[in-house]
Chains A and B, each alone.
Chain A
């Protein structure tokens, strides 16, 4: 079955760039009609949608983060990545990668159906 696994540094210094990778197993990120997404969750708080990359390579970002976010894909490694620049303590959170699928095309069914386990990133000097 399809599985996603986040990886990357657990500690990032303020003003630096947070870089995370999501490795996908059980499916190819370069085939099908999927979006590969990033979501984050500060401790004790709700979920924030960061952005996504389509199988074909187009991207969408949350405007609140758009100037600092880049999502890219490495199809040779079956991975997609998140880069978040100029981080502050407010970027401390658990970061999740997830697959967005149009489960029933034509029926308003875009949903995040498969999630990674999440990785904690702390921004601190």
Chain B
């Protein structure tokens, strides 16, 4: 299985901050990398697919980058509704493994 490692596992930030979360895969996955946001008690929502493509309806303050084994999700200006947990996922090969998650909390 491909292992997905996210860092940090949690972070504290303020509204308006720029936040970057990283995700590393145990082998090259080209640009097969997705990012999801999960608010407490809710199902995950797709934010970014194919490493850097913004899913329909997702605010432009979210962006993704990377290829191969190293990827990043950046929120350019954190908004109150962005305090949530973020997961990366590789759909390169089954099982489509997820990272352990990064919880973004209010400082």
Contact = CB atoms under 8 A, between A and B. Distances in A.
Contacts, number: 79
Given A46-B87, A115-B44, A103 B96 contact: no
Contacts of A108: 30-33, 50-51, 91-92
Contacts of B98: 46-49
Return the 3 tightest CB-CB contacts between A and B, nearest first.
Answer: A111-B49, A110-B91, A115-B43
A116 interface: yes
A117 interface: yes
Contacts of B36: 47, 112
**Chain B binding site: helix, strand, loop or mixed by DSSP?**
loop
Interface in A18-52: 46-49, 51-52
A116 B87 contact: no
Interface of B: 1, 30-34, 36, 42-46, 49-51, 53, 55, 87, 89, 91-92, 94-101
A113 B55 contact: yes
A97 B99 CA distance: 19
Contact of A111 (B30, B91, B101): B91
Contacts of B42: 117
A104 B50 contact: yes
Nearest to A103: B49
A113 B1 contact: no
